[in-house]
Chain A
Amino acid sequence: MQASARIPERRVDIGDEATLTLEAYADTIVPGEKRGSGDRAIAGAGTGGGAVAAGALDLLRWDATGISEGLEDLAGLVNDHARAYAAGEGLEPDDTVPPFVALGYEDRVTLIQRLTTPGHPEKDFWVLLSLFCNMAFDSAAHLNTAQAIEDGHPGLSAMGITAPDADGLWRFSDFGYGRKLAELHPDTTATGSPA
């Protein structure tokens, strides 16, 4: 009954425009610091690495997620929304980058809030995209966890997740305060259940 070896990981290639757009989206979910002065996708709204540095694009492009084939469409769709948003807000057009990337951080936030509000017809897509962006940061779902910690993954490091034992398993011999800290409910049965 031994589990078989894992199937090879397949990543979907996407174009530069989709990459920039989805990086900007991921960076809105978990903001990080710019990779350089010319970095437009990352808004620079956070300190340390955010979802992009955590590997959001690597996770999104992996076919295990189920959204990899739709990434170009999602990028196109969010850019359409960004174009409409910019027009509605009277923002200065900037054709040098995709429309979502052209938005400032606060405008990106406002747009994502609108797209994920209950009742929005596309809400499921944007929640799914947001979920995977977040997972790249909070659980490094595209990487072996122990290896990611050893490599200084920005999300796992920021959350203070410690390294496992040498065999890759976590054990905490020091696990509790070891003393009584409250009175028991008076109606507790002998076996420890509510009466």
Chain B
Amino acid sequence: MSNAIEKTDVLVIGSGFGGAITAYHLAAGGAKVTVLERGPWLNSSDFEHDYKLGSSYTRAFDFVVGDGMSVLGGNCVGGGSVVYFAAMPRAPRFVFDRKGSIGRRMWPSALSRDTLDPWYDRIEESLSVTKQEWSDVSYAGGLWAAACHHAGRTANPLAVAIDNSKCANCNFMMAGCRFEAKQSLTVNYLPAAIAHGAEIRPLHEVQHLSRTAEGDYRVHYNVVDDQDYRLHHDSGVIQAKIVVMAAGAAATPVILQRSETHLGTMPHAVGRYFSGNGERLNTAVLDEDKIAEILGLTRGEGALPYGANAIGRGPTVASWDKLDGSLPEYSRYSLEQLYFPPGLGTILAQVPDATGPTWFGREKKEILRNWKSWLTIFSMTEDDNEGVFGPPPATGNAMRISQQMLGRGNLSYRPTRNTWHGWNQSDAEVKEILEKDGLAKVMPWTNDLVGAYTVHPLASCRMGDDPHTSALDDTNELRGHSGVFVTDASAVPGALTVNPAMTIAAVAERAVPHIVAAARLRGVAVNYGAPAPTGHKSGRNAVLPLLRRGVRQPAGV
């Protein structure tokens, strides 16, 4: 039987939030779970403080340039959780009532802040998400808070999934946390999944799905070189009763598009309604004297009052004054202090008041000399879900250009007037806050080079109640393809106005009982009800009664 097809109960594509959370619960419930991850498996000791190509900084990331939108995402075991900044706010209540471009509620009626809160609670418990104090805030966050206060705004330290006792404020967390302070999935859900028998295979890039006559799925993958991702060494097939797709919002729809010839017609919304979470960046070049004079901030004798762009842990403070449900759609946003490391985005920062080119040349070099006095502000607005994926590339989700990280994809994004309205309003507010009394000079990043830029791709295979504008039903199952579930950011229907990791994770947690029910229908002996990977049980105990009361009660609960 050497030619027999390998079989598993549940095949999970991707090991980020959508993959790790489902893999853990399904394995803990008794299913045979196999996880295919296209990126490498890096340990904490592999996470380097190094911008050189080939370091963990480029191995763990993917940067896919599209037509009008470029996407930065994770590419390793743990996915986005390895490279994320661990900011974990819940989405504000009004987000779930957004109508976006379709004139009706985008989220399924079964989902609201109230119904998602118990699942948020599970994530909060599992990832030790904690409210931060002012003493935890970095210089950059403190400066942003002080500027907001000076301009009559409020500002909040962000809830994060970081163990402050281990954090060195190195600002290298995008290359993986060397100090294991950041709660990546590699220190909670994934080891717990492995302990329950799940198998994780790195460097396995899924290309397409097909179906057997008996109704099982076959998942076709290539094995990618562990350093030069342009090279593929092998290929293979695994058969599963259930497929959980969690390759990320920039890859899941591409796999489904490529599968259409094998599985039959895909829902219209597969590869459409992509959202960049309405993201926009502004760079402020600060006047250090004014920081001391007007905001009263100092760092002691001999030090600049700020000069601390390099210090910290990504974002630590956000201003939420415009997260107001009474405001019209497309005018609500959060403004968050963010660290953006050299190499990935510096070229997009524009020179304020330039007389020549804004993104290169003499004047750009001058502002680079003040890099330590830069403050980056990240706007998360409401975009119009205008992204559409073109035909899939030969393999993966991009034509790879560089050995790692850089590729060209087929996502096209033409920002609508609504999206520009949000961007322009947030740009104007950042400028108003930071240019008040000459604190700084501010310019948004240019969209002219690689289009808009998102680190939080969403909605490319989204949930909803309307079959014409959503690819998944309210259980995360792909319409017309029973047994295929999508649990990553592509399931989230639209921009959230805050960092999305908490919501992506909560939606994945919520999907698990439905996947368990589907697996049991296919004869898999699996139950729902595992505690948090830490062993804590409060979150689990809170959701079990809800499931018993629910209309779509999964078997085995």
A residues contacting B by CB (< 8 A) are 1-4, 6-7, 28-31, 45-46, 50, 62-67, 109, 112-113, 116-118, 124, 127-128, 130-131, 134-135, 137-146, 155, 158-162, 164, 168-195
Contacts and interface: CB of A to CB of B under 8 A. Distances in A.
A162 B310 CA distance: 9
A94 to B, nearest CB: 22
B235 to A, nearest CB: 21
Contact of B449 (A127, A141, A158, A169): A127
6 contacts: A29-B360, A64-B53, A113-B357, A140-B51, A145-B50, A194-B323
B208 interface: no
B371 A160 contact: yes
A116 B449 CA distance: 7
Given A162-B310, A172-B168, A192-B159, A6 B347 contact: no
Contacts of B320: 185, 187-188, 194
Nearest to A62: B53
B314 to A, nearest CB: 12
Nearest to A178: B135
Contact of B368 (A112, A158, A178, A186): A158
A63 B403 contact: yes
A194 B149 contact: no
Residue picked from A142, A182, A188, A195, most chain B C-beta under 10 Å: A182
A3 B42 contact: yes
A195 to B, nearest CB: 6
A26 to B, nearest CB: 10
Contacts, number: 246
B297 A192 contact: no
Contact of A191 (B131, B343, B346, B362): B131
Given A175-B169, A195-B93, 8 more contacts: A29-B361, A127-B450, A159-B342, A176-B141, A182-B156, A185-B321, A191-B131, A192-B156
Interface of B is mostly: loop
Contacts of B341: 139
B226 A4 contact: yes
B402 A194 contact: no
B40 A191 contact: no
Contacts of B228: 7
A28 B321 CA distance: 42
Nearest to B148: A182
Given A1-B43, A127-B449, A181-B142, A192 B132 contact: yes
Contacts of A181: 134, 137, 142, 145-146, 149, 155
Interface stretch (B170-178, B254-262, B530-538, B541-549): B170-178
Given A181-B146, A192-B131, A138 B342 contact: yes
Identify the 8 closest CB pairs spanning chains A and B, nearest first: A192-B131, A139-B343, A192-B159, A182-B155, A159-B371, A66-B401, A175-B169, A193-B90
Interface residues of B, number: 98
A46 B109 CA distance: 59
Contacts of A158: 365, 368-369, 371
B393 interface: no
Residue picked from B52, B297, B357, B502, most chain A C-beta under 10 Å: B52
